[in-house]
Structure 1
Amino acid sequence: MSRDTTRLPAVPRQRTTTPSWAAPDPVDALAGHLDDVVSAAVHPDEIAALLESDGLSDDQIRERYGVKNSFALAEALYARVPRRHPEPGTPPHDPWRVGPLACLLRGLVFALPGFAYVLGAPLLAGPPDGDGLPAGTVPLLAGALFGWTWNQGLSHRAYVRLGLGDRPAARRGLLVGAPVGALLGALTASAFAGTASAAAVAFAAGQSCYLGASTTLLVLGRERALLAALAPMTAGALAAMVHPLPQAASLTLLLGSLAAVVLLALREVVPAPPGPGGRFAPGTRQGPRPAASLPYALFGLGSGALVLYAALGDVLAGEEHSALAAPAAVALTLSMGPAEWLLYRFRSGSLTGLRTTGTTGAFRRAALRTGAECLAAYLLALLALGLIATALWPHAPALTAVRLADLLLLGVVLWTGLLLQSFGAVLGTAAVCCAAALVQTLALLTGPADPHVVALTVYATAAVVQALLVRTLLGRATAHR
């Protein structure tokens, strides 16, 4: 609709001889003039924004239409015009409609690095540490938690710059941030080394390097290159699960894949030499403030800690468990592919809801119904992956009702957290995940409680809180604009 067609009609101010009871209602006249715009509005605030954009002041509204301000006039117009949403001549553009293959590929590259622990098992050999955890566990976990925290914040900064169209600035940020994060992650692992061997600390340092380089490739959309770099290591790990490999071969595969990932990341972010008389192109837009990335980093810390507790649940419960990862953690990692695709499905469904619903209540119901369907689909995928991982995992404990409830409730926490984060409502989910991880840590440190029962209570509480956040924040039409 052109600007001229939405120009608000003025009501004549001169006195006429028409009786007041026979004069046309100026609000009805305005409703007829703006019929197309008002009938397609999902909320009165959309109409108020149009009125204000036309320069109509509150004084003019009171004089012409006899109501208090633009919001009151918008509500009157919204109430008088029935909802209509004429279908466009061509299918509307949906930027959130993506195929599942790319998302499943990302889920696969999230999970494949776990095979490095199969090849690196000799480096982690040794007696359990003072807490009864397998040798080398503490520096590995410390480095991983720091890496997830740092790289989540770094990813946010790079994605914001990419969204602004400033790819050179995103590349420069990754070029500096990824190596700094890898160095700090290695130092963190060393600080928590305790009685771990030098080989275990070196393995943790390599893990930190991988996290920084893989973050760079994933942010820049180079999943296929990352998958190719991990392929030799993955093949070697699968072979080692059938017949042990010589230690030299395992180290060669580990270092070869790590070197390939690092070199690929460097190729993506190192600027090309300038041409004759040229310069490196500087960024043209201001990036996000560091404080804006802090909630994303905290979400990485909280969610990462919860996944690690899922991986070590049986060890913490005093049960025999020889690996550093559990089927639950493997299932959660693999489920990130379906989770991402279902996030896109929710965004696509919310756009459809904006077009097809006529009231705020109808849109809220449609959005929440779409969210519930996507969450149910994710939990079904997670359940299937959990059953498969448990069946294939050597000496895995049975997937009891308590373990299954832990897995699914943690899945609710992670998926709703990712959903809130995708809408920018990251502060709430970061607080919930960090609080849940802190409560779980304190419960395990201060009492003899069963870790599975503690996890069940913590995950259930966090899931309810985040479900309420989703209902409150994402039930508003304005959140989906």
Structure 2
Amino acid sequence: MSGSLWLKPGTTGDSLPTIPRQRTTTAGTGAPASTAAPAGRRGSVEYAPDPLDDLVVRLGALAAVAVHPDEIAAILESDGMTDDHIRLTYGRADSFALAEDLYARTERRHPEPEAPAAGPWHTGLAGCLLRGLVFALPGLAYVLGAPVLAAGPGRYGLPPGSVPLFAGAVTGWVWNQALAHRAYSWLGLGDRRAAVRALQTGAPAGALAGAAVAVAAAGPGEGPAALFGAGQAVYLAAATVLLVLGRERALLAALLPLAGAVPAVRHDLPEPLRIALLLLSLAATAAFAGLSLRAGRAGGRGGGRGGPPFAASLPYGLFGLGSGLLVLGVGADAVIALSLSMGPAEWLLHRFRGASLTRLRLLTTAYEFRRAVTGMLARCLGGYLALLLALTVTAGALWPGAAAVSAGRIVALLLVGAVLWLGLLLQAFGAVSSAAVVCLLAAVAQALAPAAGPVAAGLAAAVLCVLTCVLLVRPTAHRF
């Protein structure tokens, strides 16, 4: 092999070669004893420098805060050290043996955790509640549009107009999840103008795709539902732009006309008023999105670098597809509860991430870290499910025509909520592919056998819980 040194792989019984560490010299001359020292004369002993000492100096700061030797092994491997290089240079079998020596030689120096700084993992509850509100308010649009949608026939045992609406909504979820990931990736690279360009190109394309799918899925007599689905596609694209660029307040202002649906829950409103409120909110959302994109072009720095690969955004779109299909099977009132819960869910995700980083700086052993992370995970998931339960009971009492809030239905909804929260947590730690596969399999099982939906959601929640525990109890999962 050109340019490399071939070493015979060691066997179980092999021992490492002895590395000479000393030589005897004649006092005052520095000549080797074998050639210069007279017989019987005592010489001085000089030790060759141990290359591990230099490595301790170079990596001492990182090794001092490690809670397990595997963290140091990961650093060594990321530094490009192969096992062959380690055997030749440091006389250790592999990166793990070298990491254990570094861990043993370095004194633990875990700094006291600083006060949480303003950053992506220390966000306020008010901001997350605002996002939850803007996630839920679009549900009022369906209250306003209910008389229009009910004009057409129902298909596949679904309410009238449901097929084009569901088809357009699922298309929008898949597209906009992937688009949001790509734009957020550009923002993470510090290139806001590139993120704006991605939104400028992707948002109109997503709106067009969602509208086309809604129109194509419409059957005879479902023209009004197709038009509503096209408006829904435009809204999803514009809302994605505003949420990615941090314009939640502008989106809330655009959704305020939908508050006119509150009296429509109990009383009939004139159809022209219903349509006017829907169009006003849709136009305001699209206008605010356009203004935000125009302002974003002037901020940040330009491109000049290779962006994130398109394939990296695909799992996020598939996760949006799986989670969206699961949510569609739980009923309208449950969808409202899940939408409202997304704000507190996001805050709990930030809280878990920030607390885990604090524990990583504070704790000194891997066992303590595993126990702390497991406890935080149980508390955050339990808190989210408790909140979701309260929102479900409230939505069931207020939503017109809601199904009875039975114990079995609540259990099914909580299982879907657990799948969503754990999937979002894995997504935040980069394990989105696993979450997407689990959600898609559960959604397919629910579509094929609706009666088995709770079982599929329960199995998916169990699998995601195991994956979360296996991944997040490792300290290295929190260093990226």
Tell me, yes or no, whether TM beats 0.5.
yes
Equivalence map 1:374-393=2 (5 Å): 374-393=380-399
Partner of 1:301: 321
Residues 257 and 72 from structure 1, CA distance in 2 versus in 1: closer, same or farther, beyond 3 angstroms?
A: same
Partner of 1:473: 471
1:282 Cα deviation (Å)?
Answer: 4.7
Q: 1:179 aligns with which of 201, 204, 213?
A: 204
Residues 240 and 18 from structure 1, CA distance in 2 versus in 1: closer, same or farther, beyond 3 angstroms?
A: farther
1:67 Cα deviation (Å)?
Answer: 2.8
Is 2:455 aligned against 1:457? yes
1:180 and 1:100 map into 2 onto residues whose CA distance is 33
Tell me which amino acid in the other structure corresponds to 1:72. Answer: A
Tell me which amino acid in the other structure corresponds to 1:260. Answer: A
Residues 196 and 82 from structure 1, CA distance in 2 versus in 1: closer, same or farther, beyond 3 angstroms?
A: farther
**Contact 2:186–2:194 at 8 Å: present in 1 too?**
yes
1:94 and 1:38 map into 2 onto residues whose CA distance is 27
State the Cα deviation string for residues 69-124 of structure 1 (Å, max 9, x = none): 44312212324656442426x54646311110001100100000010111111211
Partner of 1:332: 338
**Contact 2:130–2:248 at 8 Å: present in 1 too?**
yes
**Contact 1:139–1:190 at 8 Å: present in 2 too?**
yes
**Contact 1:166–1:284 at 8 Å: present in 2 too?**
no
1:165 and 1:476 map into 2 onto residues whose CA distance is 29
Partner of 1:119: 144
Partner of 1:14: 23
State the Cα deviation string for residues 153-179 of structure 1 (Å, max 9, x = none): 010111001111111111111111111
Equivalence map 1:416-455=2 (5 Å): 416-444=422-450, 451=451, 454-455=452-453
Residues 251 and 366 from structure 1, CA distance in 2 versus in 1: closer, same or farther, beyond 3 angstroms?
A: same
**Contact 1:107–1:333 at 8 Å: present in 2 too?**
yes
Q: 1:165 aligns with which of 190, 205, 213?
A: 190
1:35 Cα deviation (Å)?
Answer: 6.8
Q: 1:249 aligns with which of 267, 273, 288?
A: 273
1:465 Cα deviation (Å)?
Answer: 0.7
Residues 18 and 120 from structure 1, CA distance in 2 versus in 1: closer, same or farther, beyond 3 angstroms?
A: farther
1:25 Cα deviation (Å)?
Answer: 12
**Contact 1:31–1:38 at 8 Å: present in 2 too?**
no
Partner of 1:68: 93
**Aligned residue pairs, count:** 441
**Contact 2:327–2:335 at 8 Å: present in 1 too?**
yes
What SS does structure 1 have at the residue aligned with 2:137? helix
Is 2:388 aligned against 1:363? no
**Contact 1:129–1:195 at 8 Å: present in 2 too?**
no
1:56 and 1:112 map into 2 onto residues whose CA distance is 54
Q: 2:174 aligns with which of 149, 153, 167?
A: 149
Question: Any stretches of 5+ residues in structure 2 without a counterpart?
Answer: 1-19, 26-41
1:214 and 1:130 map into 2 onto residues whose CA distance is 29
1:155 and 1:32 map into 2 onto residues whose CA distance is 43
1:250 Cα deviation (Å)?
Answer: 1.0
2:84 and 2:152 map into 1 onto residues whose CA distance is 80
1:469 Cα deviation (Å)?
Answer: 1.1
**Contact 2:192–2:301 at 8 Å: present in 1 too?**
no
**Contact 1:115–1:233 at 8 Å: present in 2 too?**
yes
Residues 219 and 55 from structure 1, CA distance in 2 versus in 1: closer, same or farther, beyond 3 angstroms?
A: closer
The two structures have a TM-score, normalised by structure 1, of 0.83
Equivalence map 1:396-415=2 (5 Å): 396-415=402-421
1:270 and 1:441 map into 2 onto residues whose CA distance is 42
What SS does structure 2 have at the residue aligned with 1:14? strand
1:50 and 1:299 map into 2 onto residues whose CA distance is 31
2:438 and 2:84 map into 1 onto residues whose CA distance is 46
2:428 and 2:339 map into 1 onto residues whose CA distance is 18
**Contact 1:107–1:336 at 8 Å: present in 2 too?**
yes
The two structures have a TM-score, normalised by structure 2, of 0.83
What SS does structure 1 have at the residue aligned with 2:211? helix
Residues 221 and 77 from structure 1, CA distance in 2 versus in 1: closer, same or farther, beyond 3 angstroms?
A: same
1:217 and 1:92 map into 2 onto residues whose CA distance is 27
**Contact 1:31–1:81 at 8 Å: present in 2 too?**
no
1:94 and 1:44 map into 2 onto residues whose CA distance is 31
Is 2:282 aligned against 1:258? yes
**Contact 1:299–1:434 at 8 Å: present in 2 too?**
yes
**Contact 1:409–1:459 at 8 Å: present in 2 too?**
yes
Residues 199 and 18 from structure 1, CA distance in 2 versus in 1: closer, same or farther, beyond 3 angstroms?
A: farther
Residues 399 and 52 from structure 1, CA distance in 2 versus in 1: closer, same or farther, beyond 3 angstroms?
A: closer
Tell me which amino acid in the other structure corresponds to 2:437. Answer: A
1:368 Cα deviation (Å)?
Answer: 2.1
Range 60-69 or range 182-191, more displaced: 60-69
1:57 and 1:273 map into 2 onto residues whose CA distance is 45
1:273 and 1:223 map into 2 onto residues whose CA distance is 19
Question: Any stretches of 5+ residues in structure 1 without a counterpart?
Answer: 1-10, 275-279, 312-324, 445-450
Tell me which amino acid in the other structure corresponds to 2:264. Answer: A
Residues 310 and 31 from structure 1, CA distance in 2 versus in 1: closer, same or farther, beyond 3 angstroms?
A: same
2:189 and 2:387 map into 1 onto residues whose CA distance is 34
1:48 Cα deviation (Å)?
Answer: 4.5
**Contact 2:111–2:362 at 8 Å: present in 1 too?**
no
What SS does structure 1 have at the residue aligned with 2:388? helix
1:258 and 1:480 map into 2 onto residues whose CA distance is 40
Is 2:69 aligned against 1:44? yes
Equivalence map 1:161-240=2 (5 Å): 161-234=186-259, 236-240=260-264
What SS does structure 2 have at the residue aligned with 1:145? helix
1:62 and 1:156 map into 2 onto residues whose CA distance is 42
Residues 370 and 254 from structure 1, CA distance in 2 versus in 1: closer, same or farther, beyond 3 angstroms?
A: same
**Contact 1:193–1:201 at 8 Å: present in 2 too?**
yes
Paired-residue identity, %: 55
